[in-house]
């Protein structure tokens, strides 16, 4: 019987803890090193707390419309203290759940930071003091990412926060200016706008949600501007200055000239970068590229028996990708030969309405030389959407003209982040428009809109002209 391999994992986020659990299933002896709480950024100060706030904001918005449905409940009031308490309750429950899984799986957990002494030895600086040398046969690096800092005057002022700070406001602000219109900035814009505060977005590129389908991004922009969110694209923040104890004065360069906008709080959300500080990667010769740990298709570094997964390798900074990378990495570390497949990666943006996408955008498909056909189906023509009074948005499906193979799909609308799973699975299996059309979709459901978009792409829609 072969001896159990000792695997050390640095970082307990969506990559690290999932990698640990999978490695135990494969028979490894696992030690997980995490400096804060298991679950990493995603569970503690990212995906989960923001989605808790998103859910509260969505319900708060719907409650304002109940009179139209025959429910006279009066005007809803926001208890910010209870909102923050609810957020913490959800996070704490999930963190404890992960801890329980690790404990029951016999994963040794060390609280602290790790650095390489050599290719097989880590020095762990424990959170409660002291150090420990840890020898391992295999090492998996999953140290995640941190927010990119914006080098402008005033970025360090009180009231200027990153995404973590925006989750911890002691009181809800009266106004919020967001520097960066990517998915994180837009999610916060959606949350705080739903809570009734003034929101301004400043994005240096020509559209909010850069890289997403232009048509879908414009749907969201039109809705938000109609509702009062101010959006400045092709614009840059040149400085942030204190006006008084309550307000910040933000200088912005726009295509129409210079502006000064006042806001109580400023959120800087201009992206994230790999976090590898203190690991001593260069000391043992681990290759890096633009700050990211360089790996091959099997998630192995240039050093034998050292693997890496998650945000620190810089491919897709998404929790679900990080988890899959970690599974692939430990399977390969423990004797497998599984290539990481990025051909079908769902992307989800939890704005209101939310956006789910997979595959190519229209622009990307054309840039790659595909001759395409597009089917669009608006949710206003969907029975379930009408019944729920959630008719914003549409399904947009992109297929290759000759073969009918589905190249991509983007959904903006209620539950778009759930609906996209059907397309992700289908595209993974090479689905064509005909396959989607010939699959019976339950009625009345939002999923009918997905089938209808395929019908439209084929030129035979049933529920729109």
Distance (Å, whole) CA 449 – CA 461:
11
**Cα separation, 291 vs 409, whole angstroms:** 32
> Per the structure block, which two tokens stand in for 424?
């992700």
Catalytic residue among 320, 441, 443, 463: 443
User: What does pTM read for this prediction?
Assistant: 0.95
The span from the CA of 90 to the CA of 6, in Å, is: 33
Q: Output the CA torsion sign for 423, 424, 425, 431.
A: positive
The confidence score (pLDDT) of residue 1 equals 37
Coil/strand/helix, residue 260: strand
Q: Is 463 among the catalytic positions?
A: no
Beta strand 198-202 with 230-232 is parallel
Q: Beginning with the edge strand found earlier in the chain, give each strand of the sheet holding 236-242 in spatial order.
A: 236-242, 248-254, 257-263
359 sits in which H/E element: strand 355-359
The pLDDT of residue 2 is 59
pLDDT score recorded for residue 246: 81
Domains, the chain, ordered by start: 6-146+273-333 (3.50.50.60), 160-270 (3.50.50.60), 353-457 (3.30.390.30)
State the number of CA atoms in the 13 A half-sphere of 464 facing the CB: 21
Mean pLDDT per 10-residue segment, the chain (465 residues): 85 97 97 95 93 96 92 91 97 96 97 96 94 96 94 93 94 97 97 97 97 95 97 97 87 95 96 95 96 97 97 95 98 96 96 97 97 98 96 97 97 97 97 98 98 97 92
């Amino acid at each position: 019987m072969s001896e159990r391999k000792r695997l050390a994992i640095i970082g307990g986020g969506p990559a690290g803890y999932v990698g640990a659990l999978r490695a135990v299933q494969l028979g490894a002896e696992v030690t997980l090193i995490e400096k804060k709480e298991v679950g990493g950024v995603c569970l503690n100060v990212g995906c989960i707390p923001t989605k808790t706030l998103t859910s509260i904001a969505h319900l708060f918005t719907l409650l304002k419309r109940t009179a139209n449905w025959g429910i006279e409940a009066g005007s809803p009031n926001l208890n910010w203290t209870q909102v923050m308490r609810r957020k913490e309750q959800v996070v704490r429950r999930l963190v404890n759940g992960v801890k329980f899984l690790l404990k029951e799986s016999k994963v040794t957990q060390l609280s602290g930071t790790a650095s390489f002494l050599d290719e097989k030895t880590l020095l762990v600086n424990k959170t409660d003091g002291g150090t420990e040398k840890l020898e391992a046969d295999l090492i998996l690096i999953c140290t995640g990412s941190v927010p990119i800092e914006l080098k402008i005057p005033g970025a360090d002022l009180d009231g200027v926060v990153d995404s973590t700070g925006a989750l911890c406001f002691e009181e809800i602000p009266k106004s919020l200016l967001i520097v960066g219109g990517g998915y994180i900035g837009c999610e916060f814009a959606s949350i705080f706008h739903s809570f009734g505060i003034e929101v301004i977005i400043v994005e240096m590129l020509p559209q909010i949600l850069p890289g997403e389908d232009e048509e879908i991004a414009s749907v969201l922009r039109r809705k938000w501007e109609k509702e009062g969110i101010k959006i400045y694209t092709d614009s840059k923040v040149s400085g942030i200055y204190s006006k008084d104890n309550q307000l910040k004065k933000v200088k912005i360069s726009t295509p129409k000239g210079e502006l000064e906008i006042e806001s109580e709080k400023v959120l800087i959300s201009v992206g994230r970068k790999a976090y590898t500080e203190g690991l001593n990667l260069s000391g043992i010769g681990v290759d890096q590229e633009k700050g990211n740990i360089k790996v091959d298709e099997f998630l192995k570094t240039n050093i034998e028996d050292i693997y890496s997964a998650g945000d620190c390798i810089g491919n897709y900074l998404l929790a679900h990708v990080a988890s899959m990378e970690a599974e692939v990495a430990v399977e390969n570390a423990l004797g497998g030969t599984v290539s990481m497949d990025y051909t079908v990666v769902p992307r989800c943006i939890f704005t209101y309405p939310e956006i789910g996408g997979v595959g190519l955008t229209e622009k990307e498909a054309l840039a790659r030389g595909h001759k395409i056909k597009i089917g669009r189906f608006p949710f206003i023509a969907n029975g379930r959407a009408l019944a729920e009074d959630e008719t914003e948005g549409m399904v947009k499906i992109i297929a290759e003209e000759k073969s009918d193979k589905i190249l991509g799909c983007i959904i903006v609308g209620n539950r778009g982040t759930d609906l996209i799973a059907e397309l992700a699975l289908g595209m993974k299996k090479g689905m064509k428009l005909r396959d989607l059309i010939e699959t019976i979709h339950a009625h009345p459901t939002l999923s009918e809109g997905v089938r209808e978009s395929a019908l439209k792409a084929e030129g035979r829609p049933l529920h729109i002209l």
